Amino acid sequence: MPKTVDNTILLADDEADVRDVMRMSLEDLGYTVICAEDGQQAVDLFKEHSPPIVLTDIKMPGMDGIELLEKIKRMDPETEVIMITGHGDMNFAIKSFRFDATDFITKPIAMEALERALKRARDKITVRRQFYAYTRNLEAMLSEKSGRRPEESDQTTASTMQRVLEHLPCYISLYDEDLRIIEANSYFIENFGDAAGKHCYDVCKRRDEPCQDCPVKKTFSRGKSCQHETQYITIDGRTRKVLVWTLPVFDALEKSVEQVMSVATDLEQVSELQDHLSSLGLMIGSLSHGIKGLLTGLDSGMYLINSGMAKENGQRTKEGLQIVKETTERLKKVVLDILFYAKEREFKKERVPVKAFADDLSKVVEARIQSHGIAFRKDFKDGMGELAIDVNFMIQALINVFENAISACIDDKREARDHEIVLSVHPENGRVCFAITDNGIGMDDETRKNMFNLFFSTRGSKGTGLGLFITRKIIEDHGGEIRVESTPGEGTIVSVYIPGVGD
């Protein structure tokens, strides 16, 4: 490992034996390990040693790993925090990614996975350092320029530099003390519009007032560079994760900061890639385990069928058949989901009349809904124009929504409640809305917020956590939108909007 990267690791786990084993293994790999028994102790030790890498168990009594992650990220956002999770902690794992955890590994800990995660953390630290070195060079160029009297040769330096700044794939902008934008490079203007004279918080963040940890302000007051990770919102509403580096531009006497230059690097592509990699890793872990479970389920069914037949035990044979049937269904779904997620897809879009598509969809789902004793009602008429869609994918996307509606009704155990699922289709402002309404158990806000996240599932071993994630992806890839309204105890309406093509 490179010498420049401090090789201290802070390890937080409430279980003494796990801590011991991990410490020994990490020391074998050449790390210096500091151990904490709980979250609070970890915070104290972090303050004392400021290690570049932290490894923490998610489930700990008192302050749990997520809270610890948040605290550490607030103290030093550049710390690489690796989460350790037991099986069934997937929601926590996803939450920790949202708080910007570097990675996570599952218990029982496989050393290979741990080494991979550590390597990734170290790589991130190295890349960030390179980036800082590079911006520092920029800074040097800048002070060179502002420090010297303008001469002939400087004109050329200045214009070369301007060209460089203009075309760097970074959002570069110059601010006065009032946080108004004086100048910006073309990449900035492309993404945030011509913003000269406006406030940065308005342009980049759509806020009415300056942000709390404004690095530009800090640079004005301290006369030093600052760095800051944050999110910008572009002119067309996309969120971009950025790393901001601010540089002071001094006046001719080098006494006070006249302007501040901000260089913001878009981390979104990096983090998209990282998300994909992380979720693939996550997926292989959780799915290979899931598939092995399902295969064993198949064995179970076959064993019961065979031994049932040998013993002429009809009941046992029947049970076996039922298990085989269920497991095959689940296995099929998992495999299809994986194939879908693992492959770049190309849609074969065709024009279909909305009515015909709605009829086809109804046919597919009707039997499934009714087999659970749930009523199905259609609410749409002829002549709703056409759609340009990949029919197979779109049907799959909508089936996933129906699957959830069916589960919501099955899970509703209240007596004397007649369950119904309604498919209503109608044109709305040039789009076609497919509204799927059920009167099942409904969802709380937490579930509704998470329902489209990868690997979020409320259905335990029955759900893969892929279905609705895929649904949303298909719909968005068609230029559409999916909205959910739900009230616990009353039911859920999922509205899918797809752009129409004429009447």
Partner 1 sequence: MAKKVMVVDDDPNIVKYITAILEDAGYETCSASDGNEAYEVLKKETPDLITLDLEMPEWGPRFYRRYAKKPEYKDIPVIVVSGLSGITHAINSAVAVVHKPFEPDELLKIVKNTIG
Task: List residues binding partner 1 (CB under 8 A).
Answer: 17, 86-88, 106-108, 110, 112-113, 288-293, 295-301, 303-304, 307, 316, 319, 323, 326-327, 461
- Rounded to a whole number of angstroms, the minimum distance from the CB of residue 62 to partner 1 is 17
- Rounded to a whole number of angstroms, the minimum distance from the CB of residue 115 to partner 1 is 12
- Rounded to a whole number of angstroms, the minimum distance from the CB of residue 88 to partner 1 is 6
- Rounded to a whole number of angstroms, the minimum distance from the CB of residue 197 to partner 1 is 58
- Of 106 and 407, the one with the shorter C-beta distance to partner 1 is 106
- Of 83 and 401, the one with the shorter C-beta distance to partner 1 is 83
Q: Quickly list H helices, 311-353.
A: 314-342
- Of 32 and 307, the one with the shorter C-beta distance to partner 1 is 307
- Rounded to a whole number of angstroms, the minimum distance from the CB of residue 303 to partner 1 is 6
Residue 391 one-letter amino acid:
V
- Rounded to a whole number of angstroms, the minimum distance from the CB of residue 327 to partner 1 is 7
Classify 36 in phi/psi space as left (phi over 0), alpha (psi -120 to 50) or beta: beta
Rounded Cα gap, residues 175 and 199, in angstroms: 9
- Of 273 and 309, the one with the shorter C-beta distance to partner 1 is 309
- Of 179 and 304, the one with the shorter C-beta distance to partner 1 is 304
Q: CA dist 61 to 40, 64, 72, 89, 434, Å?
A: 10, 6, 18, 15, 45
- Of 233 and 298, the one with the shorter C-beta distance to partner 1 is 298
Rounded Cα gap, residues 65 and 39, in angstroms: 7
- Of 11 and 304, the one with the shorter C-beta distance to partner 1 is 304
> HSE (CB half, 13 Å, CA atoms) of 435?
14
- Of 252 and 284, the one with the shorter C-beta distance to partner 1 is 284
- Rounded to a whole number of angstroms, the minimum distance from the CB of residue 387 to partner 1 is 41
- Rounded to a whole number of angstroms, the minimum distance from the CB of residue 277 to partner 1 is 20
Element (H, E) at 138: helix 111-147
Nearest-10 crossing angle of helices 111-147, 152-167: 150
Q: Which residues contact 236 (CB under 8 A, 6 or more apart)?
A: none
Compute the radius of gyration of the chain from its Cα atoms: 28
Burial class (CB in 10 A: 0-12, 13-18, 19+), 208: exposed
- Of 112 and 446, the one with the shorter C-beta distance to partner 1 is 112
Rounded Cα gap, residues 461 and 328, in angstroms: 14
- Rounded to a whole number of angstroms, the minimum distance from the CB of residue 35 to partner 1 is 19
- Rounded to a whole number of angstroms, the minimum distance from the CB of residue 40 to partner 1 is 22
Contact 398, 361 (CB under 8 A): yes
- Rounded to a whole number of angstroms, the minimum distance from the CB of residue 24 to partner 1 is 12
- Of 449 and 462, the one with the shorter C-beta distance to partner 1 is 462
Phi/psi at 442 (nearest 5 deg)?
A: 75, 180
Task: Tell me the pairing of strands 80-85 and 53-57.
Answer: parallel
Nearest alpha carbon to residue 100 among 128, 133, 74 = 74
- Of 274 and 300, the one with the shorter C-beta distance to partner 1 is 300
Q: CA dist 384 to 147, 311, 499, Å?
A: 68, 59, 12
Write b or e for each residue in 301-338: b if 16 or more Cβ atoms lie within 10 A of its Cβ, otherwise e.
beebbeebeeeeeeebbebbeebbeebeebbebbeebb
- Rounded to a whole number of angstroms, the minimum distance from the CB of residue 49 to partner 1 is 29
- Of 37 and 78, the one with the shorter C-beta distance to partner 1 is 37
Question: CA triplet 2, 43, 82: central angle to 5 degrees?
Answer: 45
Sign of the dihedral defined by the CA atoms of residues 121, 125, 127, 128, in that order: positive
Q: CA dist 200 to 223, 238, 245, 389, Å?
A: 19, 16, 14, 40
Write b or e for each residue in 485-496: b if 16 or more Cβ atoms lie within 10 A of its Cβ, otherwise e.
ebeeeebbbbbb
